[in-house]
Amino acid sequence: MTTVASIMTGTVEFVDAGESLAVAARRMRDMDVGALPVRGPDNRLAGIVTDRDIVVKAVAADLDPNVCTVRALVETEPICVDANSDVEEAAARMAEHQIRRLPVVEGDQLVGMVTQADIARAMPDRAGQVVHDVSMETPPGQAQEQTPQTQM
């Protein structure tokens, strides 16, 4: 069994929920990453903010990234995976939630991040299927809704 801990990136930097989107964007640029875990006021993982979140949910909605905080974009409980979980479980979780990055935890502590690319490299014989499943319009096992939904 290949564990998530064996393929994850262990060095992870947070952005605080109260920081501006501009600060988060600069940190992503400087680190050359597309997402950052968000630390809440209790020093626990509050969610993830992505470069796409900043563009689609804030800039495109005419929110000022120098004023708007990261907290404004973090809407749900973070989807995580345990460090000792099998890579297959992480792939299934990504497909189920249509996400390309997962925070990795041990207990209630963030210990790393695992990406779709990490999983594809760990499972080369299934890399195409992993990318397909994560990128599907409708997650496996869920019925597609009949009416289009708009977000925002």
Task: Note the pLDDT tens digit of each residue in 112-149.
Answer: 999 988 988 888 787 777 778 777 765 445 443 332 33
CA distances for 93 relative to 6, 70, 106, 127, 130, angstroms: 17, 24, 17, 15, 11
Tell me the whole-structure pTM to 2 decimals.
0.77
pLDDT for residue 148? 30
Residue 12 CB contacts under 8 Å (≥ 6 apart), including other chains:
37, 103, 110, 111, 112, 113
Token pair for residue 54? 């900043």
The residue to which tokens 């397909």 are assigned: 132
If pLDDT is split at 50, 70 and 90, which confidence band does 31 have?
very high
The C-alpha atoms of residue 70 and residue 101 are separated, in whole angstroms, by 18
Alpha-carbon Rg of the chain, whole angstroms?
Answer: 16
pLDDT digits (tens, 9 = 90+) for 45-93: 899 999 999 999 999 999 999 999 999 998 778 899 999 999 999 999 9
